[in-house]
Structure 1
Amino acid sequence: MNFIRTAAACPVTKVADVEFNVKNIKECIDLALNENSKLIVFPELSITSYSCGDLFSQNELLDKSDKAIQDLCNYSREKDIMISVGAPLLHNYSLYNCAYIIYSGKILGIIPKIHIPNYSEFYEKRWFAGGKPFYCEKIHLTFQKYVPFGTNLISKAGDINFSFEICEDLWAAIPPSSYLSLMGANIIGNLSASNEIVSKSQYRKELVSSQSAKNISAYVYSSSGVHESTTDLLFSGHLIISENGSVIKENERFQRHNEIITSIIDIDKLNHERMKNLSFRDSMNSLNLQAEIIPFEFKDPSIKNFDRRIEMHPFVPSDEKVRKERCEEIFKIQASALAKRLEHTSSKKVVLGISGGLDSTLALLVAVKTFELLDYPMKNILTITMPGFGTTDRTYKNAVNLCKELGTTFKEINIVDACLQHFKDIGHNPDIHDVTYENVQARERTQILMDIANKERGILIGTGDLSELALGWCTYNGDHMSMYSVNSSIPKTLVRYLVQYAAEYETYGEISDTLMDILGTPVSPELLPKDKKGEISQKTEDIIGPYELHDFFLYYFIRQGADNDKIIFLANHAFKNIYDEETIKKWFEVFIKRFFSQQFKRSALPDGPKVGSVGLSPRGDWRMPSDASSRSFL
């Protein structure tokens, strides 16, 4: 499934002690191999150490460095790992600060540093020349002929394209990795020696993650450690692995022992993002540059121990602080979008159908925030509860209490008699609890809400969420329709956290208590009669499956374009202590069948704001024929 484990390493070094340094480099390689890593990135000039100063002009040090590279080649001969190690190279009377790329006993290429810093605490131009951009030649070493030497090298193993830059190259206005990514590299290694001063580590981390985001790549960064010379500077051994803007692994700096970090990179995810991102593609097409491709093959590319963290709820941040900030931002997006629509339509009233469930509760909270933003009176929020055949006391009570506690204009309209009359009109037996029985209620409610909105010169706010739209769990031209839909790009798992956020941070007292009780109510459309105890008999997740699974499927199907095997594999990993594989496969098949068969509902969606990275609006993210076949996806 195109995963690869990468490693960033910081070995213990002694300045100018090549034999000692190589010994620790080998130990780090073995540590990475034990973790099943296929790439390891060492710091800049790690063979000699970075802080040798004028010793770089001594032939003895350079000779020992060359022999150490040959030793590492021999050491790697039977090892299935690409090694990226830093060392000087004397070529045509110029000394270059280089990354040597070694695999299975052979140097695949040598990449010189392009941007040579010569300011503040750095004065590398005293020793090193800069490599030419977009240049490659073949050079001869004492132990290997025709070695590619240049700045446009990409080592290719299947769909995985490796390239490298060195320290200051990343700090340049246009880093070489930007060009290399546009030439096809999807994993960038950086061999670095970045000293520590106050707050620099955060900037460095942001720089790495930003570069991986702009390049839609993985970025493996390794910097020199505390055993470099401390004559004027201290290095911390900062190790970072980032993927498409997210730091997925980082070490604790200032370690005093050999250290590696490893993480699994999702190559298919990166390649799919590049395929979708037309700006990236256009940039590739406008760049009239060619990389020097160096093909090779891993002996065994499989992942032995899949330990990449896969979130059960990919739409919901796992970190509580981040989740709180995300919820606050989402409310602002929803409220600002609704405010614009109200101003555009010159409407000062909104109508909402309130059921006592999560979705209508979230829509009501958004309306309240919007009216606060516009300084409109809360009485202009017209909340209608419409009990029917399946309405329970719990949901009814919560709907009534919430509307009154928030100060809205509340009205109750019982739809039972109207539905019975409609059954009579269309010749349907009300004892037959089929889809007609259910949809009559949904459409009756929508008719009432639409007509009240017309009567009051307001707009009807839709309550349906992204998960329901993905599954088509809504009645066409019933709860499917509104005049503006504020929840249309929010999945069910996130709806729950938004309501919880409102209960914990935005409200208090009775309002908060009501919200917490709504959170504890089973998800249900309440379109079938109550059970003998007067409780909900129609639980949505018993019928179509757990929403947390469907949201997981939706994220990987839409956001990453993942194939079935990968989605099932990731779901098994994420939910390994909750659902077995048979259950996951069962509900995934339900997801695929419903997603395809219900596209016609999404093709006729009302307007609504996009909130997250996944949307199903036919005017934006998702344009799919309503009669597409699901056969190939099952």
Structure 2
Amino acid sequence: MGHLITVATCSLNQWALDFKGNLARTLESIRIAKERGATLRIGPELEITGYGCADHFLEGDTYLHSWEVLGQILSSKEAEGMLLDIGMPVMHKNVKYNCRIIILNSKILLIRPKMFLANDGNYRELRWFTPWSKYRVTEEHFLPRMIQKITGQITVPIGDAVISTHDSCIGVEMCEELFTPNSPHIGLSLDGVEIITNSSGSHHELRKLHTRVELIKEATLKSGGIYLYANQQGCDGDRLYYDGCAMIIVNGQVVAQGSQFSIGDVEVITATIDLEDVRSFRSSCSRGIQASTSASFRRIEANIALSDGRLEDNPAIRPTTVKRVFYHTPEEEISLGPACWLWDYLRRSKTSGFFLPLSGGIDSCATATIVASMCRLVVKSCAKGDKQTIADARQVTGESAESGYIPTDPQEFASRIFHTCYMGTKNSSNETRTRAKELAESIGSYHIDLNMDTVVSALQLLFAMVTGKTPAFRAHGGSDVENLALQNIQARIRMVLAYLLAQLLPWVRGRPGSLLVLGSANVDECLRGYFTKYDCSSADINPIGGISKADLRLFIAYAELAFGMPILSSFLNATPTAELEPITETYVQADEVDMGMTYDELTEFGRLRKVYKCGPYSMFTKLIHLWSDKMEVAEIAVKVKRFFFYYSINRHKMTTLTPSYHAESYSPDDNRFDLRPFLYNASWSWQFDKIDRTVQVLEKEQQTGEAHS
């Protein structure tokens, strides 16, 4: 037998500034890890405060309460006899750092600050923290007096160092540091560090997990070693969903993997590993030459042996076997991620449920189906006996603990917390009305079917009385301006009605509280600005605002079979339409015709604009190659110019976007993810002129080539 150790990592559903709840979840994870025989446990990034505190990291109170919580961990029985890696912010010499606190038996061994900060996309760590740039250097940090009384220490090391136990060596790599070209794990591994911990606050995006997992595997595939990855899991109070998936990797192979999506608050994974496997893996001559010349880290001694002689003397105990990494399909990710996010938002906002305007189209259908998925997850968790989920379900439904209520049927639970309404007008069709009604019945929501023509007519009459003019639809001889204004009246009235119903429907049903209004505008419509400002796309939260139309269709096709909802097929076959204009024998409003581009084209525009950082001209040149088999160069130019024109004149709408679940890399979410102006020169004269000149050159070359052939 070799040197067997049991280690633990976890995913915690922490909540920004919920110090009491965060402490309880941290202690529970430590308790579970110890119960399973682990001698080393790591937690997510900034687990004491929650990762998403944002500008609260600039406040002294956040640092004070962090130390108070750490004091309780240091004093707890759960923390005895284990090496613990805890995350919190620390102020050192008046500089704020994002840190890991390594503790053992009521002592702080090391404060390790983050050296490379995440500062793009959704992350703004440089706004709140300073990176530790003194590589392989430590200083002495003076502890607060409250901590000195607990630990008996006045100062502790802070900086870039490692922990040396009686039988191994442990180093820290934090979140963004894994993604950088010159990652710390390389130097750590060459200096003999056998166990590397990585505590993260990494959010979910569709199809993103594979990249993260491959980087984690690569960290030890070349260098050897044990890699413990911990992550936040859940909604931390913002648009992001942190998707867990805690992992333990040995020499490039996964031996333990946690769930990516869960409504549970605490998930701990453990593995038993033979240290000798690391040592034999590192036996190559080339590595030895590099390691012998590698600069050394300061080693902080920890009076503990991670290996347990009882494991080594028991031949029945074996190292954890290698596992195949599990990935959800994008359709499954949509069914799970936004559903978990909705549940966190619902239970933590102390509201009584959701309200959704059901249009009979695929977007609101997708939003409703995600709520149905959430109900399924709640019932499943309750069936497993999760006490927190049961307590939350009772709180949301207004049931007391004495009632003994436990959700056992998703439709029954939906009937209590989910409210839908079809807000029809004379421009609505029987098909959309019927689809909305049948979908509500399939999910179990409390559904209302109404016509709001009288309200629309009242507003039109008021306008006519004030101005002496009566606007008309284009179909009735009106101008484009009149036509658009009459559409917007209907759309904005739906928003007003939605909030009225959300506030009063619980009262109507004899229940306390109010409802959260759900939006259902997809990411492509937001990018194009194809919605009315302050219409029913304006809501409290939007679970599909970061998901493309194409992915929503894939999700609905998946849910039809996975959830046993045959009604969903009728939504897949329906033409997307806003139904805001009169239907005539020769005209039925259709979204893609209105927009002058397809949803698939919008997705391509969005990725090129945001992910590939293309302006009009570079987007045009890329699309020449991507779309050359589908359309002529001149048509590509027209589509690119049309997209940038409508994108720029509608960019102001992004400032009022409903907070949406972040799922897509080209989300146009203003001021949080997509930092671009909202007042543009929509003529793009210089850029468009260059596109036109290029079209002329390419067409001339094509004509010359055809003549020669």
TM-score between both structures, scaled by the size of structure 2:
0.42
The structure with more radius of gyration:
1
